[in-house]
Amino acid sequence: MSPETPRLRSYGRLKTRTIKPRQAALMETLLPSLRPPTEPFDPRTLKPDAAPDWAEVWLEIGFGGGEHMAAQAARRPELLILGAEPFQNGVASALRHIDEAQLTNVRVLDGDARELMALMPSACLDRIFVLFPDPWPKSRHNKRRIVQAETVAEFARLLKPGGRLRFASDWADYVDWSLERFTASPDFRWAAERADDWRAPPADHITTRYEEKRLGDCAPVFLDFVRI
């Protein structure tokens, strides 16, 4: 991002409590080595020189405490997972998970995912996760939601044909909002064939502590979309 370009604004609190000493230390020592480049880059090149190419590249937008991201990375060491989260306590928590599992296939942006997406080339991602994002339930705040027509278009640009995007929420209005915007896009197909496809967690889903709190107004809904 050039000096003339204003930074995107991430709404909400970026830190709510003092970060624990161990996690604070990881913010200083581990995080710098995990941050992606700040100039345009291809995520498929983010590997040691002698390492084989990543089998796939995934992006998790707003990874919360990092439980899902770290667990998926541990399951699939042959792929790279990029994660973006502006909430500093969440980043600190994710670093603890990464450090404890000694993961080498995760890269972390402690900032707005839209900044990261803008730096990557078209058709470079195999999967995108948008799991339980801030719902901004008041009508006057809906414009702050991460799912907007322009971000759906950016998701389509970044995903390879056949790539998949998963959106999950426990706020009914946000589910309807997102379904409307994705199905309006000519670039995505909703993969659901029966009710259980959105009512039941997908087989590869990892439930987090945040999800278990059920802070929304409905049971979790999972929407999987395929890039046409």
Catalytic positions: 134
Q: Which residues pair with 102 in a beta bridge?
A: none
Q: State the first-to-last Cα distance of the chain, in angstroms, to the nearest integer.
A: 30
Q: How far is CA 12 from CA 66, 108, 127, 207, in A?
A: 18, 20, 26, 24
**Tokens 């992606």 belong to which residue?**
36
Report the alpha-carbon distance of residue 151 to residue 60 in Å, rounded.
Answer: 14
Q: How many residues does the chain have?
A: 228
Pairing outcome for strands 159-169 and 125-131: parallel
